[in-house]
A and B are shown apart, each in its own frame.
Chain A
Amino acid sequence: MSQTASATPAHRATTSTGDAIFAAAAKGCGILVLVILSAIIVSLFIGGLPAFRAFGFNFLVNPDWDPVRQIFGAEVPIYGTLVTAVLGIAIAVPLAFGIAFYLTELAPEWFRRPVGTAVELLAAVPSIIYGMWGFFVVVPIMGDYVQPFMIDLFDGVPVLGTLFAGPAFGTGILTSALILAIMILPFIAATMRDVFLTVPAVFKESAYGVGCTTWEVMRSIVLPYTRASVVGGIMLGLGRALGETMAVTFVIGNTNRISTSLFGPGNTIASIVALEFPESPTGSLKLSSLLALGFLLFVISFIVLAISRLLLRTKVKS
């Protein structure tokens, strides 16, 4: 320390060169991210171009995926990706809200840390583990108990009977959504807990002062105050759910048909790419279609991320 303090002007000159180098390097790192990202988008687009050319707009709405006849469409994977992700969110959000509500308002002080840590640990579990656990534990439970029960229960009931129909494979759209919900739960719960804690104590105390219950404080003070951030957190979870590959591949049934039943099998963009990629010859239309699917997934994820940024920014401004 004392050596640095007694440094000569010459030494200071080297430091400023060092500064310049460091600044340039840091700038380089920043630019590198942009370059890599755009390179990925561009290469996916160029790779997918033959498929876009061959099928045009029809690629997006064609439900066929027929390698024998070289007809490829993205409708089923896009549908599967969106439906599993949205269902996953629908299951995860109430749970995450419950966790966050409990941790910030109800739980005794000593209990908050272990539960909070456990939720964060869920995020650290590799997705292949969720896939295997889903396949060997959740799928048999769904196939042996949940699905036969629901199928019998709603048999003949309009709408519900269609939603819960079909052979009880255990796999399918709903099972995937369940696994996804568990996977994205920690992201949403952690965001909610953090933003709930940002609500100024004086707001809540005033509400309690006029006789509000804990629930009324949550509903009328905390939620309105943090609404944008909560939605932003949900969008982050949605982004993760859209791109999830291995866990979904294990449990979705991997079928290129759109099923009206939630127990029916389906496919997602990420899982079809993972499954079909090794058997796609270079230069083939199939490989190009898979790259085009990758590009579409990129676009979907980008839109979701943009919306979440937008919502979070609104919050910062207000």
Chain B
Amino acid sequence: MKIITTALVLAVAGFSAAAEAQQITGAGSSFAAPIYGKWAEAAAAPTGLKLNYQSIGSGAGINQINNRTVDFGASDMPVKPDDLASHKLLQFPTAIGGVVMVVNIPGVEANKLKLTGELIAEIYQGKITKWNDPKLVEMNKGVTLPSLAIAPVYRADGSGTTFVFTDYLSIVDPAWKSSVGAATSVKWPAGNGAKGSEGVASTVKQVKGGIGYVESAYATQNHLVTTHLRNKAGQFVMPEMENFAAAAASADWSKVQNFAIDLNDQPGAKSWPIESATFVLLPTDAKDPAQSKAVTKLFDWSFANGGKIATDLLYVPLPTTVQNQIRAAWAAQIKG
């Protein structure tokens, strides 16, 4: 009897503790979903917050926060200043991730092939169509490139990753900028579309001569054949944590508004060239300011204590100076 009573008391206590936990809702970026999930899990006990995050895509996340159906939206693509103002949103980054190229060329192992942004742009425009094109061969002395058709693969679904990739190509290739441009989905001049990162990865794996782009975390987890890329400083760099962090560190965060920084093609000898922050959108006129306050509390805890979780998941944590700027922005704009 005593045991049952104790169990009941414990159960009731456990239930009321769960009921006391403040629930916050978020929606958007699928790229950021794993890290938000892990952060919220770790932060649940110290902060008493419970996160309900729906990974529905950046565009849908922006829609949801504009309609105020969630407490915060999450987007991989920074929102334009005008839209932020008209929807009364505060935008801040939470983590940084790299985008890497994956290839399937018989006889070419991981991180052997060297590519440049200009060559990738030409490949995705259908201007370079064979792997033994003189331009590729010249750049890759010592690597045997077969006479094989290049099969470019891209994300067919609208995706923040596509925005980062096309934005990079627009920076390095004026022809790309004028003919295609940068967006979550674009009018691809060549290649095949696949659904989701997993679709791109498996299509590249299946098609000999395939090339595609995926988030670095995805490539690492699935042991895909990645490549070197040439950065702005003219150095060929490997897709690894150290180089992702170098690009984030060399970016000049002080000059951008709304933290809408473009981390593509940053200077610095070690900087990985294709990289982006993922953003959170928080209403400054929330109906229930306590909810917005709770969101800042969650990310405040995550910035302070979630660095290891981020690097384990292959995201780059924000530089400390940026974290402090974000805290200042919260203090100024989020009341509650």
Contact = CB atoms under 8 A, between A and B. Distances in A.
Interface in B37-93: 56-60, 62-63, 66-67
Contacts of A67: 158, 183-187
Interface stretch (A30-38, A165-173, A197-205, A304-312): A165-173
Interface in A267-284: 275-276, 278-282
B193 A279 contact: no
A225 interface: no
Nearest to B209: A167
B157 A276 contact: yes
Interface in A71-102: none
Contact of B185 (A171, A253, A276): A276
B151 A280 contact: no
Nearest to B150: A167
Interface in B165-209: 180-188, 191-195, 199, 202-203, 206-207, 209
A66 B186 contact: yes
Interface string A208-240: 000000000000000000000000000000000
Given A249-B195, A255-B192, A279 B206 contact: no
B151 A279 contact: no
Interface in B120-179: 149, 151, 156-159
A167 B151 contact: yes
Contacts of A253: 192-193
A168 B207 contact: yes
B63 A281 contact: yes
Contacts of A143: 206-207
Contact of A279 (B67, B184, B195): B184
Interface string A241-282: 000000001100111100000000100000000011011111
A253 B151 CA distance: 12
A299 B180 CA distance: 32
Contacts of B63: 281-282
Given A278-B60, A279-B57, A254 B156 contact: yes
B259 to A, nearest CB: 20
Interface in A7-37: none
A65 B187 CA distance: 6
A5 interface: no
Contacts, number: 91
B187 A278 contact: no
Contacts of A140: 206
A278 B57 contact: yes
Contacts of A265: 192-193
B74 to A, nearest CB: 13
A143 B186 CA distance: 26
Given A168-B207, A278-B56, A279-B157, A68 B192 contact: no
Contacts of A53: none
Contact of A275 (B158, B180, B203): B158
Given A275-B158, A279-B57, A68 B191 contact: no
Nearest to A246: B195
User: Which of A167, A265, A275, A281 is most buried by chain B, counting CB atoms within 10 A of its CB?
Assistant: A167
A55 to B, nearest CB: 15
A280 B206 contact: no
B209 A68 contact: no
B187 A139 contact: no
A135 interface: yes
Contacts of B203: 169, 171
A315 to B, nearest CB: 41
A142 B152 CA distance: 18
B207 A279 contact: no
A317 interface: no
A256 B188 CA distance: 8
B199 to A, nearest CB: 8
A278 B206 contact: no
Contacts of A278: 56-57, 59-60, 157-158
A280 B59 contact: yes
Nearest to B205: A140
A167 B192 CA distance: 10
A256 B186 CA distance: 10
User: Which of B57, B183, B192, B209 is most buried by chain A, counting CB atoms within 10 A of its CB?
Assistant: B192
Contacts of A282: 63, 66-67
B60 A279 contact: yes
A69 B181 contact: yes
A170 B183 CA distance: 27
Nearest to B158: A279
A276 B191 CA distance: 18
Nearest to B157: A275
B59 A255 contact: no
Nearest to B182: A68
A281 B151 contact: no
A208 B252 CA distance: 89
Contacts of A256: 187-188
Contacts of A64: 187
Nearest to A70: B183
Interface in A118-157: 135-136, 139-140, 143
22 contacts: A64-B187, A67-B186, A68-B186, A139-B206, A167-B151, A169-B151, A169-B192, A170-B207, A171-B192, A253-B192, A254-B156, A255-B193, A265-B192, A275-B158, A275-B195, A278-B56, A278-B59, A279-B57, A279-B58, A279-B59, A280-B59, A281-B62
Interface of B: 56-60, 62-63, 66-67, 149, 151, 156-159, 180-188, 191-195, 199, 202-203, 206-207, 209
Given A66-B187, A67-B186, A254-B193, 19 more contacts: A65-B187, A66-B186, A68-B182, A68-B186, A135-B202, A140-B206, A167-B209, A169-B151, A169-B192, A249-B195, A255-B188, A256-B187, A275-B193, A278-B59, A278-B158, A279-B158, A280-B59, A281-B63, A281-B66
The 3 A-B residue pairs whose C-beta atoms are closest, nearest first, are A279-B158, A254-B193, A254-B156
